[in-house]
Structure 1
Amino acid sequence: MKHFSNYIVFFILVTTLVSCKNEPKKTTMEEVGQEVEKNNLKLLVGTHASGDEQGIYQLEFNTETGELTNSEHLVKEDNSGYLYLSKDGKRVYSSNGTKPGSVSSFEWNDKGTELSKVSNFSSEGDGACYIELSPNEDLLAAANYGSGGIVLYSVDQDGKIIGEPTPRQHEGNGPHKNQKSPHAHCVKFSKDGNFLYAVDLGIDKILAYPISNNTLEREHIALQLDPGDGPRHLIFHPTKNRLFIINELYSSVVSADVDPKTGTFKKIDKKSTLPEDFDGFNACADIHLSNDGKFLYASNRGHNSIAVFSVSDNGMINLLGTESVQGDWPRNFTLSPDNNFLLVANRKTDNITVFKRDDNTGLLSFTGHTVDLPQPVCLKFR
């Protein structure tokens, strides 16, 4: 009996230990909050809104579901069309499409919850529409669409614009009715920071400005586009000496190889962003490349779609199809950092729409997630 009693006690003890081990762990509210925070990214939105609504907004983006929530109006700014963020995330720069144009810099507070303007400088022209920091973040460049020129600023170690700006005015025109004068629409520093490229819609050219001792030398033509193309933006391939250009007026994309020594481009391919049976008005806007360099995306304003292209190893591009943006006038769009989603800013319908991206095919599908925001024109993840 004594041995039997000892067996019973041992059985109860083992059973208790096993049940405790298998009991599901209780999740605290703090852990839930940490998990939610881990799945959320901050999305900054530049707008062309007016009145009390004008300025820069922030949203939370769920990286698991693609949902956008918690809209917040961070700061007022007139026509904050394009935003650029410093690498450390502490500063935000804005090109302001006013007449005359200007460039503003903002800083986050210590907690990263409030954004305050710290400086505002003339863009030395009208309608500043694009802005970018150099790879070393010691230079800041902006493009003036209205007056057709660019401007370069020096930036100190604290990210503040210093000294006198250096403007450069473009000359010329093109055959299209919107090409009566120069219209600089994008500025991009080369990967090594040795050149500043200016994409000019009005003269069908991409100009290369060599940079020496943080100053601009005399420009030369990096690439002459076809008459009436109206180039708007360019992006670089993540690993190759290659880039891609979107033409606003001709509704097309161009691939080209880059000579990093001379700063010149050699055209590879050119394809339309539209279906063959489309016969309406269209004006392309933005262009992005997947992280692996295999798929290219371009926005159509008018057709109101995102064109999806495959990109071959030799730079040839092939239109796979178009996806409706579920809105009107997709001026800007962006891929989530993990490339699982694509978000579109539809200016005329005051909304941002979210699409799931297939990593294997590159194709898009609407998630059903959308959020209302006044005239969104630029999307940047923090």
Structure 2
Amino acid sequence: MKKLFSFFLFASLIWGCSPNKPTEVKEPTKTYSFLVGTYTDDPNQGINQLDFTPATNSLEVRVIYPGIQNPSFVLANASGDEVFAVEEIHSETGGNILSLQRSNPSEALKQITTMPTFGDHPCYLALSPDERFITVANYSGGSVSVYKIEENAKLRHLQTEQHSGKSINEARQEAAHVHSTVFSSDGNFLLTADLGSDEITIYDFDPNSPEPLTINNTFKTQPGDGPRHMIFTPDGSELLVVQELTAALEIFDFQSGKLTSKQRVALMADTYKGEVGAAEVRISPDGNHVYASNRGEANSLTVYEKRDDGKYWGIQLVSSGGSMPRNFNLTADGKYLLSANQASNEVVVFERDPATGKLSETDLKVEIHKPVYLHRLAN
């Protein structure tokens, strides 16, 4: 791997540094709930709900919306009564976006709207801060679409912006591939990560316009990076981007719709020579630690600490507990991390030390068919 960015020393980053650890009894009545997006192979599969109760070492899974094709990304509004999902498929009008409803978390979902995404293989959704709009990233289609969320979760298509371009990785970057979208905390901007063209596009977002998106500027990442997923820090001043193809985490300053690269750190030690496939990035509830997953031959989770000087440093590298950790998420209190391992068909539970941010794999895991996204529900 080329040294395109500053590598950090993993003094304690060796496999086996976080052995399986039985979960101790804590908070007897606490249950954490997640929506689980999956890839499907039969009509009985679909959107799942996972309920995790540490006190009883319980991981319960049930299908709450079967019959949907490849709901690889699923999210809910803050109250949890409106749920949105993609069907990651291709057709004449692209994939689909669905809106669904339920009155409480024990119910199954009922469909409200199904609409085309106007681009093949939609793979990511983002809600505006006021929950009035939703955007979808079309991976194979290389586009981003915007919808208005109307009364009773009905969707109305407003706009589709087509991307173009390619980059140096001929196998993966032969065309535009929009992999994610994220709103700024004030809702004034929408950012898109395009793996195919090595670009992060910053759109102005005008909620009062019939077509809310207008390009403000575009940031070009290093050739071959393949920007995948993004997340803002809690105060909205920094954007963290995981570069899939170079297995890098890049930290940007974000001010007035402009990005400035501040730091690049690796997901692996510089001695690692295997296949990579960086996937997800998350921030701890207190904003002090960052987590990133790496697929390929690595199948790992990397932990970073934000130091007083504002720099991020790698402090731990652990196995994801399975194969192909496409996604993972933290509980709202930051006590646990759940890793969705797509190829090994399981979700694995880690305990997290809130002070150090480090992870310890527990012996808790549950079988789910091809889990690829975990959305945390409010509990």
Tell me the TM-score range normalised by the shorter chain: 0.7 to 0.9
Residue in 1 aligned with 2:356? 361
More contact order relative to length (CA 8 Å, sep ≥ 6): 2
* Offset at residue 271 of structure 1 (A): 0.8
| Contact 1:256-1:315 at 8 Å conserved across structures | no
Cα 1:79/1:341, change in 2 over 3 Å = same
Q: How far apart in 2 are the matches of 1:252 and 1:93?
A: 30
| Contact 2:100-2:113 at 8 Å conserved across structures | yes
Cα 1:326/1:110, change in 2 over 3 Å = closer
**Uncovered stretches (5+) of structure 1, i.e. residues with no partner:** 1-34
Q: What is the aligned counterpart of 1:248 among 219, 244, 248?
A: 244
Cα 1:227/1:352, change in 2 over 3 Å = same
1:376 aligns with 2:371: yes
Q: Map 1:66-105 onto structure 2 (within 5 A).
A: 67-76=57-66, 77-99=68-90, 100-105=94-99
**Uncovered stretches (5+) of structure 2, i.e. residues with no partner:** 1-26
Residue in 2 aligned with 1:225? 221
Residue in 1 aligned with 2:271? 277
Cα deviations by residue, 1:224-280 (Å, 9 ceiling, x for unpaired): 211111000110111251111100000000111111x3x111111001101222211
Q: How far apart in 1 are the matches of 2:309 and 2:141?
A: 37
Cα 1:314/1:241, change in 2 over 3 Å = farther
Cα deviations by residue, 1:140-168 (Å, 9 ceiling, x for unpaired): 10000011110001111432212x33100
Residue in 2 aligned with 1:296? 290
Cα 1:85/1:115, change in 2 over 3 Å = same
| Contact 2:101-2:153 at 8 Å conserved across structures | no
| Contact 1:327-1:349 at 8 Å conserved across structures | yes
User: Secondary structure at 2:43's aligned position in 1?
Assistant: helix
Give the root-mean-square deviation of aligned CA atoms.
1.6
1:52 aligns with 2:43: yes
| Contact 2:178-2:195 at 8 Å conserved across structures | yes
Q: How far apart in 2 are the matches of 1:342 and 1:58?
A: 16
Q: What is the aligned counterpart of 2:125 among 117, 124, 131?
A: 131
Aligned residues: 343
User: Secondary structure at 1:95's aligned position in 2?
Assistant: strand
* Offset at residue 55 of structure 1 (A): 0.8
Cα deviations by residue, 1:179-225 (Å, 9 ceiling, x for unpaired): 11000000111111111111111111110111122433431334321
Residue in 1 aligned with 2:3? none
Q: How far apart in 2 are the matches of 1:108 and 1:234?
A: 29
1:234 aligns with 2:230: yes
Cα 1:43/1:217, change in 2 over 3 Å = closer
| Contact 1:127-1:144 at 8 Å conserved across structures | yes
* Offset at residue 112 of structure 1 (A): 4.2
* Offset at residue 314 of structure 1 (A): 4.6
1:175 aligns with 2:168: yes
With structure 2 as the length reference, what TM-score do the two structures score? 0.87
Residue in 2 aligned with 1:113? 107
The percent identity for this pair of structures is 31
1:211 aligns with 2:210: no
Q: How far apart in 2 are the matches of 1:362 and 1:110?
A: 33
Q: State the AA in 1 paired with 2:153.
A: G
User: Secondary structure at 1:158's aligned position in 2?
Assistant: helix
Residue in 2 aligned with 1:257? 253
Q: How far apart in 2 are the matches of 1:282 and 1:370?
A: 24
